[in-house]
Amino acid sequence: MIDRKPIESWLTDMDGVLIHEGVPVPGADAFIKRLRETGRPFLVLTNNSIYTPRDLHARLSRMGLDVPVESIWTSALATAKFLDNQHPSGTAYAIGEAGLTTALHDAGYVLTDADPDFVILGETRTYSFEALTKAIRLINDGARFIATNPDNTGPSPEGALPATGSVAALITKATGKDPYFIGKPNPLMMRTGLNALGAHSESSAMIGDRMDTDILAGLEAGMETFLVLTGVTGTADIGQYPFRPTNVVDSIADLVDLV
């Protein structure tokens, strides 16, 4: 085992770690409270690009979790940051909700369907066949294809919903063009988050409930990783992967004393 530096900064996934099916995970409030009391830099991450940080702040507040707006990092924000670095003041045709369009506007992007530089696919509960057809034609005409995250499904009370990854596959099938995915497990999302905190990977930790996104992203970004068993990945699933989390704990409650 490699000796690691003490953890100074924390990144944590939201769904499955802090909340589960709209209810706070026991210990989540104590963990956030401890982070705020100690002044440790932290970010709450989500691959979901539907909501703005202000939306998520309000949603978490209603559940008793006091997460500042500036401590919320979404795949939409990471996408906007990537585009601002790669192609400042560009144009895009975006399929998504306010979380994505607001982030793009704030980054100085113009949203248009007239010869855009990029087609950007995000999460929405109402994917339009008309919008997807337009995206396919724009990509065929030369627009570059970006997707906020690779998640194939999302949760709902009725069961799984098709998410960005599934819809991206449809567009890829129609165009022959693969998107560049920004969200987890792309370590880019972690790196931009760490940069926003002014933190270093060797003294930072990632907490997640999924081996294939959270833990993989943390590992590839060079961070210590904690898998919690309150979400998607169970103990029996860990051995299916060719990589391991640094630590496995029952829930976020087990990490309060480490802050």
Say which of 3, 15, 113, 117 is annotated catalytic: 15
Beta bridge partners of 45: 13, 73
Say which of 3, 13, 115, 250 is annotated catalytic: 13
Distance CA(11)–CA(255), nearest Å, equals 12
Which candidate, 225, 170, 173, places its Cα nearest to that of 17?
225
254 carries an active-site annotation: no
Beta bridge partners of 206: 11, 225
Beta strands in 58-186 (DSSP E): 72-74, 91-95, 110-111, 118-121, 144-147, 153-154, 161-162, 180-181
Cβ 121 vs Cβ 95: under 8 Å: yes
13 carries an active-site annotation: yes
Active-site amino acid positions: 13, 15
